[in-house]
Amino acid sequence: MYSVILATASRYLLILLLMFSVFLLLRGHNEPGGGFTGGLVAAAAYALYFIANGIDAARTIVRFDPLRIMAAGLLIAIASTFPSLVAGNPFMTGVWINTGIPLIGKVGSPLLFDLGVYFLVLGIALTIIFSLAEEDRL
Amino acid sequence: MSRIIMLPILLPLCTAVVMIFFRRLVVLHRFLNVAGTALMLGVSLVMLGNVQSGGILSLQIGGWQAPFGISLVADMLSSIMVVATALIGFTTALYSLGTIDKDKEHFFYHPLLQLLLMGINGAFLTGDIFNLYVWFEVMLISSFVLLVLGGKPEQLEGAMKYVTLNLLSSSIFLAAVGILYGIAGTLNMADLAVRIPMLGHKDLLSVVAVLFMITFGIKAAIFPLFFWLPASYHTPPVAVSAIFAGLLTKVGVYAIMRMFTTVLIHEEAALIHQLLLVLSAFTMVVGVLGAVAQYDMRKLLSFHIISQIGYMIFALAIQSPLAIAGALFYIVHNIVAKTNLFYISGLVNRLKGSWDLRRIGGVYRFYPMLGVLFLVPALGLAGIPPLSGFWAKFVVIKAGIDSEHYLLVGIALFVSMLTLYSMIKIWNEAFWKDDPRGEGSVEDEGYLLISSMKKVAMVVPIVILGSVTVVFGFWFEPFFVIVQSAAVELLDQGNYIQAVLGERP
């Protein structure tokens, strides 16, 4: 069923929800949020777009193969552990750099790990949603 | 230095992720699978060397100190198990090149194999019970997918039983972990070992111990809990059967070993050891009787796994240093011989087109060398000197006699005879007798159709594992020294606790 209102709204909602998901990702360090929730919200944004515009439109707008997104997320998460190895600390110890820039403050490897989780969750959720959607078509 | 503990876990994860990223490049998958497992074998040998010379290694993840963060610990026991895992991983990666078809490779066969190895290594190396649960899950989820890869009806049927019973065991595990945490307030194995003697709740601890025994008993397939194993292990591709047969049940045995010699070591453990003694007898007998009755090669070998687990449990339950060393040697010998037998059964199936012993025959006549390669692990498993199984059984039975469990020793010897009988049965039916379908059909259908690269990929793992069995047999002494030091180390919890918590209790 095609709804003009939902289709039009979903275009704007997609951007808003994606921004919200990034907000959740960044907020996650000290407050509720983080890579997992952020990734789920981002996946929900695409799911809404798919419900409004159909699976083909959704696949075009995601551009990457969801499995690739998932693998990229895992790679980022693994990469986030390398600073601790270079610094000679126990595995997965957080490494922090103080940028001194107001608002940004300290940036560290846990953020990178969270980013990895974000893409991992996004990739998995999209893989599940898309394969269910395509099964429906068969 | 102790960061090397991370590598057996991190390596397979990295290779798996790279494989998923380049999902269409199956050639890369194959290469990474073999190279990754070869590297893992190298790393694990280095780790074993380090642990042997420098004592127990421990690593606190993220720099969080021991009872609060997650500890990874590599003592002799863990290191030996990781070496065995890497060896089986490497040979299975090779064997897969010859036996796994393109379809399965496109559906992530190789990454799943790596993730399975990651789960197994993680389970061996963790020093935290909840983390052990997590690694069990990593291992099980990969094994679920590997089991149904290909989607044949009998695979799905086997997988149903496997998944159901393993989920049940996982939930029991989780319940036990919850109760233990409620009593002790910690799940770090070393910290538990310190605290449990000081706790009240003796009755609750016994409950926890029994729950742990049930859950690990399901994973290890000991007597009343083994039904999922012969129902599922004969269904997946043979490379998968082989790695499951070699490694998965032994993770359960390892967990029993760890839990009742490092963590729960007082009244609870005495109760468990009594129970295990009785169960080991049943496990040995029921397993081997099941095997004798089978005509499907893989089902026969699957029942054998159970019977062999009985020996390990028997040795574990005796709990003297000699018995623990024997159990450990038995585990390693069995991992090697059992996996090898599955490889060979796969090759025989390729040659003759059937798993059913009644319908095939005449392998020895055309491939005498394969007959020799079969006899090495088969006689090794049965315990014919000078192969590895002889020493394994000798040590276990010696420990049994020393501790005056004469009835159990008798049963173990009797089961040995039946083991030999069932191995001879495979030999007679598949190798010795003439092919019941006549000789003409023999040559053209199997071996000639396989490309020469694939032949190499299938035969080399068999030769590698066969030579390991022979080497264990002829140069028993140095290996036994290693497992003996592992047993002594395991029975003295002080070293373990000191390595993790940094203080003597």
Q: Give the H or E element holding residue B57.
A: strand B57-60
**B131-135, B334-338, B454-458, B478-482: which range is least confident on average?**
B454-458
Which residues from B are below 8 Å from A70, CB to CB? 20
Cβ contact A93–B21 (<8 Å):
no
User: What does each C-alpha distance from B361 to A23, B207, B298, B340, B443 come to in angstroms?
Assistant: 68, 51, 16, 20, 12
Q: What is the pLDDT of residues B278-289, one digit of tens each?
A: 999 999 999 999
Inform me whether the C-beta atom of residue A68 falls under 8 Å from chain B C-beta atoms: yes
What is the distance between the alpha carbons of residues B228 and B246, in angstroms, rounded to a whole number?
Answer: 16
Which residues from A are below 8 Å from B20, CB to CB? 67, 70-71, 74
- Which stretches of chain B sit within 8 Å of chain A by CB? 3, 6, 10, 13-14, 17-18, 20-21, 23, 59-63
Mean pLDDT of the B311-326 span: 90
Pairing of the two strands B57-60 and A106-108 = unpaired
| pLDDT bucket at A138, cuts 50 / 70 / 90 | low
- Burial class from Cβ neighbours inside 10 Å (0-12, 13-18, 19+) for residue B27 reads exposed
Inform me whether the C-beta atom of residue A91 falls under 8 Å from chain B C-beta atoms: yes
Question: Angle, nearest 10°, between helix axes B297-318 and B249-258?
Answer: 10
Cβ contact A78–B14 (<8 Å):
yes
Give ipTM to 2 decimals.
0.86
Closest chain B residue to the Cα of A120, Cα to Cα:
B17
Q: What is the pLDDT of residues B36-92, one digit of tens each?
A: 999 999 999 999 999 988 888 888 887 788 788 888 999 999 999 999 999 999 999
Q: Most B CBs within 10 Å: which of A74, A82, A91, as the mutation test of the B interface?
A: A91
Cβ contact B14–A71 (<8 Å):
no
| pLDDT bucket at B444, cuts 50 / 70 / 90 | very low
Inform me whether the C-beta atom of residue A70 falls under 8 Å from chain B C-beta atoms: yes
Residue whose entry in the numeric block shows the structure tokens 């998968």: B240
Inform me whether the C-beta atom of residue A87 falls under 8 Å from chain B C-beta atoms: no
Q: What is the pLDDT of residues B367-388, one digit of tens each?
A: 888 889 999 999 998 888 888 8
| Mean pLDDT computed over every residue of chain A | 86
DSSP string, B297-317: HHHHHHHHHHHHHHHHHHHHH
| pLDDT bucket at B505, cuts 50 / 70 / 90 | very low
Whose CA is closest to B134, among B166, B174, B81? B174
Helix residue ranges per DSSP H, A28-108: 35-53, 55-62, 66-79, 82-86
Inform me whether the C-beta atom of residue A92 falls under 8 Å from chain B C-beta atoms: yes
- The structural domains of chain A, with segments of one domain joined by +, span 4-137
- The structural domains of chain B, with segments of one domain joined by +, span 2-501
**Comparison of pLDDT for B419 and B202, the residue scoring more:** B419
Cβ contact B59–A72 (<8 Å):
no
Instruction: Output the CA angle B20-B155-B22, nearest 5 degrees.
Output: 10
Cβ contact A74–B62 (<8 Å):
no
| pLDDT bucket at A75, cuts 50 / 70 / 90 | very high
Q: What pLDDT was estimated at residue B103? A: 83
- In this structure, what DSSP letter does residue B432 have? I
Res. B440: pLDDT tops 70:
no
Q: Is the pTM of this model over 0.90?
A: yes
Cβ contact B59–A74 (<8 Å):
no
Cβ contact B17–A92 (<8 Å):
no
Closest approach of A44 to chain B, Cα-based (Å): 23
Which residues from A are below 8 Å from B17, CB to CB? 71, 74-75, 78
